[in-house]
Amino acid sequence: MPKPPKMADVAKAVGVSPMTVSRAFRRDTSVGEATREKILQIAEEMGYVFDSTASNLRSQRTGFVAVTIPSLNNSNFADTVRGLNEILQTAGLQLLLGYTNYDVNEEERLIEQLLRRRPEAMVVTGGCHTDRARRLLVSSGIPVVETWDIPRSPVGYTVGFSNADAMGRMVEHLQSAGARHLTFIGGDDNGDTRGADRRRGFVAAARRLRLDYQLTPLGSPPVSMREGVRAMAEIFEARQPIDAVVCVSDLAAFGALTECQRRGVSVPDEVMIAGFGAYDIADVALPGLTTIDAHSLAIGNRTGELLVALLRGGTDVAAAQTVLHIEPTLRISGSTVSR
Amino acid sequence: MPKPPKMADVAKAVGVSPMTVSRAFRRDTSVGEATREKILQIAEEMGYVFDSTASNLRSQRTGFVAVTIPSLNNSNFADTVRGLNEILQTAGLQLLLGYTNYDVNEEERLIEQLLRRRPEAMVVTGGCHTDRARRLLVSSGIPVVETWDIPRSPVGYTVGFSNADAMGRMVEHLQSAGARHLTFIGGDDNGDTRGADRRRGFVAAARRLRLDYQLTPLGSPPVSMREGVRAMAEIFEARQPIDAVVCVSDLAAFGALTECQRRGVSVPDEVMIAGFGAYDIADVALPGLTTIDAHSLAIGNRTGELLVALLRGGTDVAAAQTVLHIEPTLRISGSTVSR
DNA sequence: GTGAAAGCGCTAACAA
DNA sequence: TTGTTAGCGCTTTCAC
């Protein structure tokens, strides 16, 4: 295998300086149109592939945007990543993805690893990080966006919503639909701060509205359909009076729904079921699941637009909003209201 | 904002040469234990962050593994990516992800972009690429793995299975369960070659077994739950004799199932429903969906192990199998067999 | 519109 | 175990 050609080889073959080849490979710079075409054509014939690693070092710009998310096997975050990538790809930016697996220590490790790659911006999920992770983010000097949360003390920019408030609105809906004895199905405290926030919001609202409530903890996140089945089964075994279950996600809610159907318990007449996330299943299940649409895709889109403005836009960077609130939408369906 | 420290700054502060600092930041090389600790500690205090971009250029190793997948909003590919990342992360390799959106031209564009980043290996989904994409892959000189398929003329390594054969086995099962009039629900030809392969397998098996069959095309992939609903509704409107529907994925199958339930059609007694992919929903739905488990996670794991062996393992690289067949498993459940 | 010189921050290769 | 020298392949900067 012969060594792959470099820019200098192309330059020699065309009969120009390497600098002209370099310019030809970028849209904006000034090269004669005929020269550019000739260069690109000969480069293609030679099998030349532009080397970003050298470009990155010299120009001190990598075109990377690093993102840490808990997991991709949860379509909510996957939607956000998709929405983010839609915008970034157009701007020629490349995602650098890391999975924290709902663990802040893993997140810290990942943030350090990712910063070594010299991303031009960093997007993290949630507003809860280790002290060292915060320090790394702040001293990196690049724009940082926290998503899916409204942290009390943000590191940089924020694109998200209050998980607690959203769940509060769900509890209000259930009360007005007639529920008096509620239970919350969600993962344990460890790791999933979004889930914990939703539980806090549930508890706060239940207290405020003087509703009877309890909590049905599951294992570690991500909470799956099967765990919704298991939790609902436990609830039935406990034989407490229950007329509404609030689930940390639509997946658990669907599991709970099928367990009700398996036992011949009518939803919503005997038990109401509420989810979170506006997954496809919420629409397609029978009955449909009442849920909260957090606008996952829009969170990604807005984050992407913010970053492109920050990185590529020159002037009014300071004018960018620091906190971008994406208001979730309550979507009422057959799992809480008879049709 | 002062300029961030570089390796030379750390070296000066510690009183050693930059080379020693460089060595201290890698596990394998020889540095005095005391020296290493002192270097790492002072580096941390100074807020030094290792610069991979420089390292990559000089060492000609990036630690990147590039991956192109059609979409992440399909848990099958997401599982494969997760399985791949599990292995790569352990080996210190970083995923570089690109979304083709089921479009070979987009794939070509993406492959070119990704190769510029000088990945050490490339993983692509499927065995169908543009000529130029193939050329780029071959002449890149790095290991290439095609997954989720068994291409007739592979570019490099293969980790996958025959989508057509798997669907054939499903049709055999339906026949033995008593089905005589089958229809296939799947996306159109464009883009999703896995889906097209499954349809081919369906048609071939139906012919071989002399079953009556038809095709119910949907729009572009990815095929969602809602499209399964729509397709099933169309099938009922057409009033053809049908006793089994075979869906390109479990998501469409679940949509079809709910449409049957909406119309009071008994599954499996009046209509059998089969899916593909062993999504969570196949287990949790009522009745459970008969499906094919393609072992998405294992495809990712095996691919990761192959690459780690190829990249980090020194000796018996040539000994690696070129084609790794991951045999799919037929999982029979209540949607095709009465309980 | 094009070219020459210098150097981005690390590490390969060799020496001690 | 540690240090020295040179250079990875581009692009910045300045000159014309």
Residues of A in contact with B280 (CB under 8 A): 224-226, 251
Residue A274 DSSP SS3: strand
A242: tokens are 């229950």
Distance CA B37, CA B43 (A): 10
Q: How far is the CA of B140 from the C1' of C6 (A)?
A: 30
The Cα–Cα gap between B36 and B23 comes to: 8
Nearest residue to nucleotide C7, by CA–C1' distance, is A58
pLDDT of residue B110 exceeding 80 = yes
Nearest by Cα to B84 from B296, B295, B307, B304: B304
Question: Between chains, do A280 and B226 touch, taking CB under 8 Å as contact?
Answer: yes
**Which residues of chain B have a CB within 8 Å of the CB of A254?**
281, 284
Q: SS3 of A200, please?
A: helix
Chain A residues 23-42 within an 8 A CB cutoff of chain B: none
The predicted-structure confidence for B182-209, as pLDDT tens digits, reads as follows 999 997 766 788 999 999 999 999 999 9
Mean pLDDT computed over A168-194: 91
Task: Summarize the confidence of residues A88-96 as an average pLDDT.
Answer: 95
Backbone angles phi, psi at A27, to 5 degrees: -60, -50
Tell me what pLDDT residue A192 has.
80
Tens digits of residue pLDDT in A285-329: 999 999 999 999 999 999 999 999 999 875 455 556 799 999 999
pLDDT at residue B25 is higher than 80: yes
* pLDDT at residue B30 is higher than 90: no
Nearest to B263 by CA among B234, B244, B245, B236: B236
Whether the beta carbon of A58 falls within 7 A of nucleic chain D: the reply is: yes
Average pLDDT over residues B312-317: 62
Q: What is the pLDDT of residue B317?
A: 56
The lowest-confidence range among A76-90, A233-247, B87-101, B176-190 is B176-190
Residue B42 above 70 pLDDT?
yes
For residue B108, pLDDT over 70 is answered with yes
By Cβ distance, the residue of A51, A78, A228 closest to B116 is A51
Is the model more confident about A29 or about A132? Answer: A132
Distance between CA atoms of residues A88 and A92, nearest Å:
6
Quote the CA–CA distance of A258 and A274 in Å, as a whole number.
Answer: 13
CA A277 to chain B, closest CA, distance in angstroms equals 14
Nearest to B65 by CA among B41, B35, B37, B86: B86
- What is the predicted pLDDT for the residue at B92? 93
Share of chain A above pLDDT 90, in %: 86
Chain D nucleotides with an atom closer than 7 Å to a protein C-beta? 1-5, 7-13
CA distance A147 to chain B (A): 19
Write down the pLDDT at residue B7.
Answer: 97
Nearest by Cα to B275 from B261, B255, B260, B289 = B289
Residue among B269, B242, B274 nearest B173 (CA): B274
A117–B229 CB contact, under 8 Å: no
Give dist(CA A245, CA A232) in Å, integer: 9
The total number of residues written for chain A in this structure: 339
- Distance CA(B204)–CA(B220), nearest Å, equals 23
Token pair 């039935």 in the structure block, residue: A236
Pairing of strands A329-331, A291-293: antiparallel
State residue B319's pLDDT score.
Answer: 56
CA pair distance B124, B112, nearest whole angstrom: 13
Closest-CA distance of chain B to residue A205, Å:
31
- Give the pLDDT confidence score for residue B180 in this predicted structure: 97
Nucleotides of C under 7 A from a protein CB: 1-5, 7-13
If pLDDT is split at 50, 70 and 90, which confidence band does A218 have?
confident
pTM for this model (two decimals)? 0.94
Distance CA A30, CA A20 (A): 9
**Three-class DSSP category at A13:** helix
Helix (H, G, I), strand (E, B) or coil at A85: helix
Q: Is the peptide bond before A151 cis (omega within 30 degrees of 0)?
A: no
Q: Does A51 touch chain B (CB under 8 A)?
A: yes
CA B308 from chain centre, in angstroms, equals: 17
Interface test with A, best of B284, B289, B333 (most A CBs within 10 A): B284
> Cβ distance A126 to A103 under 8 Å?
no
**CB contact (8 A) between residue B95 and residue A97:** yes
A19-33, A269-283, B152-166: least confident range: A19-33
What digits encode the pLDDT tens for the residues B53-92? 999 999 999 999 999 999 888 779 999 999 999 999 999 9
Q: How far is A103 from chain B (nearest CA, A)?
A: 15
Q: Which residues contact A110 (CB under 8 A, 6 or more apart)?
A: A68, A98, A99, A100
What is the number of alpha carbons within 13 Å of residue B60 lying toward its C-beta? 3
Lowest-confidence segment of A78-92, A177-191, A197-211 by average pLDDT: A177-191
Which helix (H) or strand (E) segment is B108 a member of? helix B104-116
The percent of residues in chain A predicted with pLDDT above 70, rounded, is 97
> Across all residues in chain A, what is the average pLDDT?
94
The reported pLDDT for the residue numbered A220 is 79
